[in-house]
Amino acid sequence: MTTVIKNGTIVTADLTYKADVLVEGGRIAKIGQGLSGDKVLDATGCYVMPGGIDPHTHLEMPFMGTYSADDFDSGTRAALAGGTTMVIDFALPAPGQGLLDALSMWHNKSTRAHCDYSYHMAITWWSEQVFDEMKEVVDRGITSFKHFMAYKGALMVNDDELFASFRRCAELGALPMVHAENGDVVAELSARLLAEGNRGPEAHAYSRPPQVEGEATNRAIMIADMAGVPLYVVHTSCEESHEAIRRARMQGKRVYGEPLIQHLTLDESEYFNADWDHAARRVMSPPFRSKQHQDSLWAGLSAGSLQVVATDHCAFTTDQKRFGKGDFTKIPNGTGGLEDRLPMLWTHGVNTGRITMNEFVAVTSTNVAKIMGMYPRKGAVLEGADADLVVWDPQAEKTISASRQQSAIDYNVFEGQKVKGLPRFTLTRGHVAVTEGAMSSKEGHGEFIAREPNGPVNRALSQWKELTAPRPVERSGIPASGV
Ligand code: URP
Ligand code: ZN
Ligand code: ZN
Ligand code: ZN
């Protein structure tokens, strides 16, 4: 059984051209003119692009006394509905729990996935066991490690642990990632705000000003540089953090920044809404920022100082958000976005001229595949690559509404937004999962994708570090060891 996508224009991170795509056995078998197959998908007027890859999701994650409401079933359905064909979720060991133990828990949850997936492993505590198990984790194809510099008393790790883990990542050819917020300062500011009677969701934003993010981003960059390892900064939300990344890159440091579609399109005014539920539903860390910060993020995408757009999809129902009535520090942190990332970015990025179509593909798919060690199996329209494809109709329109979404929660932070540019078809390894909004995805179709460590950037960086490593000066008549 073969499928052919006919009459479309292929759009990749670096090329735009007219060709048909033949799919066989879950892979792209041929790209060319006048191809035929058993089943024909008409792509007239559409762009054929690599399916989106969301490098930042939290499906069924235990967090702040509850579990995020979208699991690998509803979460990956939402992904496919919006043209995303792969997610990278965070396996999160409880402090004291082994990494391999957490990994088998995540493997159990993900058996329901409708699209392919991978994990990042979180380092939530430090010990010889963690050090040892990091190698096994990498051997099993999980090549990125996440560190929380916030959530004091829960997931946060300190600088000594960061440095030890970053050095271990350097040895293993893995990529460290950080949630960059100064958790000590956030804890102080939160306690003070509560004591002063600031208990509503708006205080969440006051407790996490851009400075806490800028400081932590800069600190993580310097620690990574000393460890000789690249660094990936998740949910970059403000100019202070972007500035640190931009500066580091100009100095030749290998640092990546990931804005979220929420931070690009929603601002801090949401927290001042008179409706408590409205504001609490938008509580996430870092919080939404002002328009100036949004402009900085958009500029970073077009300038290339920021490389990826993600969602940090971590959805909680209104009832779950209400755990924090009377105390903003108890509102579960997180927002959804999996189904909306591509249409929102196309509408606010490509349709406005802020980014090109090719840049759209780069930041939603190809750059992720390259940075995360799975290119060109994923993130490419090439013969031999997985047939994770989206046939994108730039004329199709809709108004975002929770009443029609795949996500399990009862609202959508983008409710009422009009988007132009939607999937006509989404294919996951050749299987047509979406046709103009109608779902035909299959629970359990998704497979775990093992990723490669020691990518070109890790190799180049370790070579440079080796060349410039401290060496004793040879002095005549004096042994090199000293005096
Ligand atoms: O508020 C957020 N971002 N929740 C998800 C966990 C995290 O910090 O990424
Ligand atoms: Zn985070
Ligand atoms: Zn996250
Ligand atoms: Zn299938």
Nearest atom in ligand 1 to the alpha carbon of residue 58 is 5
Q: In the prediction, which pLDDT does 215 show?
A: 98
What ligand is nearest to the CA atom of residue 57?
A: 3
What ligand is nearest to the CA atom of residue 428?
A: 4
Instruction: Name the token pair of 438.
Output: 């109608």
In the reported structure, the alpha carbon of residue 89 is separated from the centroid of ligand 4 by a whole-number distance in angstroms of 21
Q: Which long-range contacts (CB under 8 A, 24 or more apart) does 266-270 make?
A: 266/413, 266/414, 267/291, 267/294, 268/205, 270/413
Q: Is residue 6 a contact partner of residue 34, using CB atoms and an 8 Å limit?
A: no
What ligand is nearest to the CA atom of residue 56?
A: 3
Q: In the prediction, which pLDDT does 82 show?
A: 98
- For the CA atoms of 409, 56, 329, 207, the dihedral, rounded to the nearest 10 degrees, stands at -130
Nearest atom in ligand 1 to the alpha carbon of residue 68 is 5
For the chain, count helices (H), then strands (E).
Answer: 16, 20
Query: Number of C-alpha atoms within 13 angstroms, CB side, residue 20?
Result: 18
Residues surrounding ion ligand 2 at CB below 5 Å: 179
Q: Is residue 242 a contact partner of residue 306, using CB atoms and an 8 Å limit?
A: yes
Candidate of 67, 333, 338, 409 to mutate for ligand 1, largest count of ligand atoms within 8 Å of Cβ: 333
Q: Is residue 238 a contact partner of residue 300, using CB atoms and an 8 Å limit?
A: no
Nearest atom in ligand 1 to the alpha carbon of residue 314 is 5
Ligand 1 interacting residues, C-beta cut-off 6 A: 58, 179, 284-285, 312, 314, 333-334
Residue for token digits 């958009």? 298
Q: In the prediction, which pLDDT does 284 show?
A: 98
Candidate of 207, 208, 312 to mutate for ligand 1, largest count of ligand atoms within 8 Å of Cβ: 312
Closest by Cα among 119, 29, 114 to 428: 114
In the reported structure, the alpha carbon of residue 312 is separated from the centroid of ligand 3 by a whole-number distance in angstroms of 5
- Closest-CA residue, ligand 1 atom 9, reads 312
Residue for token digits 């840049």? 359
In the reported structure, the alpha carbon of residue 308 is separated from the centroid of ligand 4 by a whole-number distance in angstroms of 28
Candidate of 235, 258, 263, 331 to mutate for ligand 1, largest count of ligand atoms within 8 Å of Cβ: 235
Q: In the prediction, which pLDDT does 318 show?
A: 98
Q: In the prediction, which pLDDT does 477 show?
A: 82
- For the CA atoms of 164, 165, 168, 174, the dihedral, rounded to the nearest 10 degrees, stands at -150
Candidate of 56, 57, 58 to mutate for ligand 1, largest count of ligand atoms within 8 Å of Cβ: 58
**233, β-bridge pairs:** 178, 257
Q: Is 411 exposed, middle or buried (0-12, 13-18, 19+ CB in 10 A)?
A: buried
List, run by run, the mean pLDDT of 10-residue segments along the chain (483 residues). Answer: 98 98 98 98 98 98 96 98 99 96 98 98 98 98 98 96 98 98 98 98 98 98 97 98 98 97 98 98 98 98 98 98 98 98 99 98 98 98 98 98 98 98 98 98 98 96 91 84 60
In the reported structure, the alpha carbon of residue 235 is separated from the centroid of ligand 1 by a whole-number distance in angstroms of 9
Identify the H or E element spanning 32.
strand 27-32
Reduced to 3 states, what is the DSSP secondary structure of residue 144? strand
Nearest atom in ligand 1 to the alpha carbon of residue 90 is 9
Q: In the prediction, which pLDDT does 478 show?
A: 73
Residue 204 CB partners (closer than 8 Å, separation 6+)? 271, 283, 285, 287, 328, 329, 331, 333
Q: In the prediction, which pLDDT does 287 show?
A: 98
In the reported structure, the alpha carbon of residue 448 is separated from the centroid of ligand 1 by a whole-number distance in angstroms of 23
In the reported structure, the alpha carbon of residue 254 is separated from the centroid of ligand 3 by a whole-number distance in angstroms of 21
442/329 Cα distance (integer angstroms): 38
What ligand is nearest to the CA atom of residue 446?
A: 4
432/445 Cα distance (integer angstroms): 11
End-to-end Cα distance, the chain:
75
In the reported structure, the alpha carbon of residue 431 is separated from the centroid of ligand 4 by a whole-number distance in angstroms of 5
DSSP type of residue 375: T
- Closest-CA residue, ligand 1 atom 2, reads 334
- Closest-CA residue, ligand 1 atom 5, reads 334
Q: In the prediction, which pLDDT does 481 show?
A: 66
Q: In the prediction, which pLDDT does 110 show?
A: 98
Size of the chain, expressed as the number of residues it contains: 483
Instruction: Name the token pair of 1.
Output: 């059984």
In the reported structure, the alpha carbon of residue 56 is separated from the centroid of ligand 3 by a whole-number distance in angstroms of 6
Q: In the prediction, which pLDDT does 483 show?
A: 55
Candidate of 67, 204, 314 to mutate for ligand 1, largest count of ligand atoms within 8 Å of Cβ: 314
Q: Is residue 120 a contact partner of residue 140, using CB atoms and an 8 Å limit?
A: no
Report H helices in 69-182: 72-81, 99-109, 128-139, 159-172
What ligand is nearest to the CA atom of residue 26?
A: 4
Residue for token digits 């949401």? 270
Nearest atom in ligand 1 to the alpha carbon of residue 179 is 8
What ligand is nearest to the CA atom of residue 87?
A: 3
Nearest atom in ligand 1 to the alpha carbon of residue 151 is 8
Rg over alpha carbons for the chain, rounded to the nearest Å, is 22
In the reported structure, the alpha carbon of residue 236 is separated from the centroid of ligand 2 by a whole-number distance in angstroms of 10
Q: What are the DSSP calls for 250-289, one per residue? A: HTT--EEE--BHHHHH--GGGGG-S-HHHHHHT--SSPP-
